[in-house]
Amino acid sequence: MIRGNYNITFLQQMLGISSPMSPMSKLSVSSLSSPEVQNQLKAAGIDVNSRQYQVVMKDMMGALDGRAGYTTVSAIKNRMRQYNADGDYVGPGGIVVPGMIATGIPESERHQIINVSEDARQKMFDETKRHFLQEYGVANGDTTKRSEVFRAFQLSIPKEDRLKGTWTLGQYERAYTRAFVDAVKAVNPNWEPGQPFDKSILDSVTRESVDHALVKSGNKLVFSNKSVNIRI
Protein backbone atom coordinates (compact mmCIF):
# COMPACT_ATOMS: atom_id res chain seq x y z
CA MET A 1 0.00 0.00 0.00
CA ILE A 2 1.26 3.48 -0.88
CA ARG A 3 1.04 5.90 2.02
CA GLY A 4 1.66 9.62 2.23
CA ASN A 5 0.55 12.74 0.45
CA TYR A 6 1.68 11.87 -3.07
CA ASN A 7 0.86 13.98 -6.11
CA ILE A 8 -1.71 12.19 -8.30
CA THR A 9 0.33 12.74 -11.46
CA PHE A 10 3.40 11.28 -9.76
CA LEU A 11 1.46 8.17 -8.71
CA GLN A 12 0.08 7.74 -12.23
CA GLN A 13 3.57 7.91 -13.67
CA MET A 14 4.79 5.34 -11.12
CA LEU A 15 1.97 2.97 -12.04
CA GLY A 16 2.29 3.57 -15.79
CA ILE A 17 -1.13 5.21 -16.05
CA SER A 18 -1.61 8.07 -18.50
CA SER A 19 -3.12 11.14 -16.91
CA PRO A 20 -6.47 12.21 -18.36
CA MET A 21 -6.27 14.91 -21.00
CA SER A 22 -8.90 17.55 -21.55
CA PRO A 23 -10.20 17.63 -25.15
CA MET A 24 -9.29 21.32 -25.23
CA SER A 25 -5.85 21.06 -23.61
CA LYS A 26 -3.19 22.73 -25.73
CA LEU A 27 -0.62 20.38 -27.22
CA SER A 28 2.57 21.42 -28.92
CA VAL A 29 2.59 19.81 -32.36
CA SER A 30 6.30 19.08 -31.99
CA SER A 31 5.55 16.97 -28.89
CA LEU A 32 2.94 14.71 -30.50
CA SER A 33 5.47 12.01 -31.35
CA SER A 34 6.75 11.69 -27.78
CA PRO A 35 5.78 8.42 -25.97
CA GLU A 36 4.14 10.33 -23.11
CA VAL A 37 1.88 12.38 -25.39
CA GLN A 38 1.17 9.33 -27.56
CA ASN A 39 -0.08 7.47 -24.48
CA GLN A 40 -2.25 10.44 -23.55
CA LEU A 41 -3.72 10.54 -27.05
CA LYS A 42 -4.48 6.82 -26.87
CA ALA A 43 -6.15 7.33 -23.49
CA ALA A 44 -8.27 10.05 -25.09
CA GLY A 45 -9.50 7.57 -27.71
CA ILE A 46 -7.20 8.43 -30.61
CA ASP A 47 -5.69 5.56 -32.60
CA VAL A 48 -2.22 6.92 -33.31
CA ASN A 49 -1.50 3.98 -35.64
CA SER A 50 -4.49 4.67 -37.90
CA ARG A 51 -4.21 6.07 -41.40
CA GLN A 52 -6.54 8.90 -40.38
CA TYR A 53 -4.17 10.04 -37.64
CA GLN A 54 -1.08 9.67 -39.83
CA VAL A 55 -2.59 11.76 -42.64
CA VAL A 56 -3.76 14.46 -40.22
CA MET A 57 -0.28 14.66 -38.70
CA LYS A 58 1.33 14.87 -42.15
CA ASP A 59 -1.02 17.67 -43.18
CA MET A 60 -0.47 19.50 -39.90
CA MET A 61 3.32 19.29 -40.13
CA GLY A 62 3.24 20.39 -43.75
CA ALA A 63 1.08 23.41 -42.94
CA LEU A 64 3.41 24.50 -40.15
CA ASP A 65 6.50 24.05 -42.34
CA GLY A 66 8.85 23.80 -39.37
CA ARG A 67 7.19 26.55 -37.35
CA ALA A 68 5.90 26.04 -33.82
CA GLY A 69 2.22 25.26 -33.50
CA TYR A 70 -0.41 23.96 -31.11
CA THR A 71 -3.45 21.73 -31.39
CA THR A 72 -5.93 19.95 -29.13
CA VAL A 73 -7.37 16.45 -28.82
CA SER A 74 -10.71 17.80 -30.00
CA ALA A 75 -9.15 19.39 -33.09
CA ILE A 76 -7.29 16.18 -33.96
CA LYS A 77 -10.46 14.10 -33.64
CA ASN A 78 -12.46 16.54 -35.76
CA ARG A 79 -9.88 16.41 -38.53
CA MET A 80 -9.60 12.62 -38.36
CA ARG A 81 -13.35 12.34 -38.97
CA GLN A 82 -12.78 13.90 -42.39
CA TYR A 83 -10.74 10.87 -43.54
CA ASN A 84 -11.74 7.24 -44.01
CA ALA A 85 -9.89 4.16 -42.78
CA ASP A 86 -7.62 4.22 -45.86
CA GLY A 87 -6.60 7.82 -45.18
CA ASP A 88 -8.66 9.22 -48.05
CA TYR A 89 -10.22 12.65 -47.55
CA VAL A 90 -14.02 12.36 -47.45
CA GLY A 91 -14.85 15.73 -45.89
CA PRO A 92 -17.46 16.51 -43.22
CA GLY A 93 -20.12 13.82 -43.19
CA GLY A 94 -18.41 11.86 -45.99
CA ILE A 95 -19.55 14.26 -48.69
CA VAL A 96 -16.40 13.76 -50.81
CA VAL A 97 -16.03 10.52 -52.78
CA PRO A 98 -12.60 8.94 -52.08
CA GLY A 99 -10.27 9.36 -55.03
CA MET A 100 -11.93 12.55 -56.27
CA ILE A 101 -9.36 15.02 -54.89
CA ALA A 102 -7.40 16.25 -57.90
CA THR A 103 -4.81 18.28 -55.95
CA GLY A 104 -1.31 17.36 -57.09
CA ILE A 105 -2.52 15.14 -59.94
CA PRO A 106 -1.54 16.44 -63.41
CA GLU A 107 -4.37 17.10 -65.84
CA SER A 108 -2.75 14.64 -68.25
CA GLU A 109 -3.36 11.84 -65.73
CA ARG A 110 -6.96 12.65 -64.82
CA HIS A 111 -8.27 13.90 -68.18
CA GLN A 112 -8.18 10.55 -69.93
CA ILE A 113 -10.85 8.63 -71.81
CA ILE A 114 -11.68 5.24 -70.28
CA ASN A 115 -14.52 2.78 -70.68
CA VAL A 116 -17.79 3.83 -69.03
CA SER A 117 -20.52 1.26 -68.49
CA GLU A 118 -23.64 1.36 -70.63
CA ASP A 119 -25.71 1.67 -67.45
CA ALA A 120 -23.85 4.84 -66.37
CA ARG A 121 -24.12 6.33 -69.86
CA GLN A 122 -27.84 5.64 -69.98
CA LYS A 123 -28.41 7.27 -66.59
CA MET A 124 -26.49 10.35 -67.71
CA PHE A 125 -28.43 10.47 -70.98
CA ASP A 126 -31.77 10.20 -69.16
CA GLU A 127 -30.89 12.95 -66.67
CA THR A 128 -29.50 15.24 -69.36
CA LYS A 129 -32.67 14.80 -71.40
CA ARG A 130 -34.96 15.33 -68.39
CA HIS A 131 -33.15 18.52 -67.45
CA PHE A 132 -33.03 19.79 -71.04
CA LEU A 133 -36.79 19.31 -71.40
CA GLN A 134 -37.59 20.87 -68.03
CA GLU A 135 -35.45 23.96 -68.52
CA TYR A 136 -35.78 24.26 -72.32
CA GLY A 137 -32.07 23.79 -72.82
CA VAL A 138 -30.86 26.13 -70.04
CA ALA A 139 -28.40 24.67 -67.51
CA ASN A 140 -29.94 25.27 -64.08
CA GLY A 141 -27.79 24.26 -61.11
CA ASP A 142 -30.81 24.32 -58.80
CA THR A 143 -32.79 21.67 -60.68
CA THR A 144 -30.21 19.39 -62.25
CA LYS A 145 -29.50 15.97 -60.72
CA ARG A 146 -26.25 15.44 -62.59
CA SER A 147 -24.23 15.43 -59.35
CA GLU A 148 -26.20 12.41 -58.14
CA VAL A 149 -25.49 10.60 -61.41
CA PHE A 150 -21.77 11.37 -61.19
CA ARG A 151 -21.54 10.34 -57.53
CA ALA A 152 -23.31 7.01 -58.08
CA PHE A 153 -21.00 6.31 -61.01
CA GLN A 154 -17.87 7.24 -59.06
CA LEU A 155 -18.80 4.89 -56.23
CA SER A 156 -19.38 2.06 -58.72
CA ILE A 157 -15.81 2.01 -60.08
CA PRO A 158 -12.34 1.53 -58.53
CA LYS A 159 -10.95 4.52 -56.66
CA GLU A 160 -8.00 4.88 -59.03
CA ASP A 161 -10.35 5.25 -62.03
CA ARG A 162 -12.74 7.83 -60.58
CA LEU A 163 -11.12 11.03 -61.83
CA LYS A 164 -10.65 9.62 -65.33
CA GLY A 165 -14.11 8.06 -65.34
CA THR A 166 -15.73 11.33 -64.27
CA TRP A 167 -13.93 13.17 -67.06
CA THR A 168 -15.12 10.59 -69.59
CA LEU A 169 -18.73 10.60 -68.39
CA GLY A 170 -18.63 14.39 -68.61
CA GLN A 171 -17.65 14.08 -72.26
CA TYR A 172 -20.74 11.94 -72.88
CA GLU A 173 -22.89 14.48 -71.03
CA ARG A 174 -21.67 17.28 -73.32
CA ALA A 175 -22.34 15.13 -76.38
CA TYR A 176 -25.90 14.37 -75.29
CA THR A 177 -26.60 18.06 -74.73
CA ARG A 178 -25.12 18.91 -78.13
CA ALA A 179 -27.34 16.27 -79.77
CA PHE A 180 -30.47 17.70 -78.14
CA VAL A 181 -29.58 21.24 -79.25
CA ASP A 182 -28.95 20.04 -82.81
CA ALA A 183 -32.27 18.18 -82.86
CA VAL A 184 -34.24 21.27 -81.84
CA LYS A 185 -32.34 23.52 -84.25
CA ALA A 186 -32.99 21.06 -87.07
CA VAL A 187 -36.68 21.94 -86.67
CA ASN A 188 -36.22 25.59 -85.71
CA PRO A 189 -32.83 27.00 -86.76
CA ASN A 190 -33.52 30.22 -84.84
CA TRP A 191 -34.18 28.49 -81.52
CA GLU A 192 -32.18 29.70 -78.50
CA PRO A 193 -31.87 28.03 -75.05
CA GLY A 194 -34.76 29.06 -72.82
CA GLN A 195 -37.25 29.30 -75.67
CA PRO A 196 -40.10 26.74 -75.76
CA PHE A 197 -39.98 23.92 -78.32
CA ASP A 198 -41.98 20.82 -79.17
CA LYS A 199 -40.68 18.34 -76.61
CA SER A 200 -41.50 15.38 -78.84
CA ILE A 201 -38.53 16.45 -80.99
CA LEU A 202 -36.15 14.79 -78.55
CA ASP A 203 -37.88 11.44 -79.03
CA SER A 204 -35.81 11.18 -82.19
CA VAL A 205 -32.53 11.21 -80.25
CA THR A 206 -31.37 8.00 -78.58
CA ARG A 207 -28.38 7.38 -76.40
CA GLU A 208 -27.21 4.64 -78.76
CA SER A 209 -27.30 6.96 -81.78
CA VAL A 210 -25.21 9.58 -80.00
CA ASP A 211 -22.68 7.08 -78.64
CA HIS A 212 -22.31 5.52 -82.09
CA ALA A 213 -21.45 8.91 -83.60
CA LEU A 214 -18.66 9.65 -81.09
CA VAL A 215 -14.96 9.01 -81.61
CA LYS A 216 -11.98 9.56 -79.36
CA SER A 217 -9.82 12.57 -80.21
CA GLY A 218 -6.95 12.93 -77.78
CA ASN A 219 -8.51 13.23 -74.34
CA LYS A 220 -11.96 14.14 -75.66
CA LEU A 221 -14.97 12.53 -77.32
CA VAL A 222 -16.07 14.31 -80.48
CA PHE A 223 -18.64 13.67 -83.17
CA SER A 224 -17.33 11.84 -86.21
CA ASN A 225 -18.44 12.71 -89.72
CA LYS A 226 -21.52 10.62 -89.04
CA SER A 227 -24.38 12.78 -87.88
CA VAL A 228 -26.73 11.65 -85.15
CA ASN A 229 -29.72 9.98 -86.76
CA ILE A 230 -32.58 12.44 -86.20
CA ARG A 231 -36.06 11.72 -87.51
CA ILE A 232 -37.98 14.92 -88.25
pLDDT of 16 > 60? The answer is no
pLDDT of 98 > 80? The answer is yes
What pLDDT is stored for residue 228 in this prediction?
65
Mean per-residue pLDDT of the chain? 90
pLDDT of 6 > 60? The answer is no
Q: Where are the domains of the chain?
A: 20-96, 108-223
Mean of pLDDT values over 169-191:
98
pLDDT of 90 > 60? The answer is yes
Mean of pLDDT values over 84-94:
92
172 vs 222: CA distance, rounded Å: 9
pLDDT of 1 > 90? The answer is no
SS (H, E, C) 57-126: HHHHHHHHCCCCCEECHHHHHHHHCCECCCCCECCHHHCCCCCCCCCCCCHHHHCCCCCCCHHHHHHHHH
Give the pLDDT band of residue 229 (cuts 50, 70, 90).
low
pLDDT of 144 > 60? The answer is yes
What sign does the CA torsion over 21, 23, 26, 32 have?
Answer: positive
pTM of this structure: 0.80
118 vs 121: CA distance, rounded Å: 5
What sign does the CA torsion over 181, 185, 191, 192 have?
Answer: positive
Mean of pLDDT values over 121-139:
99
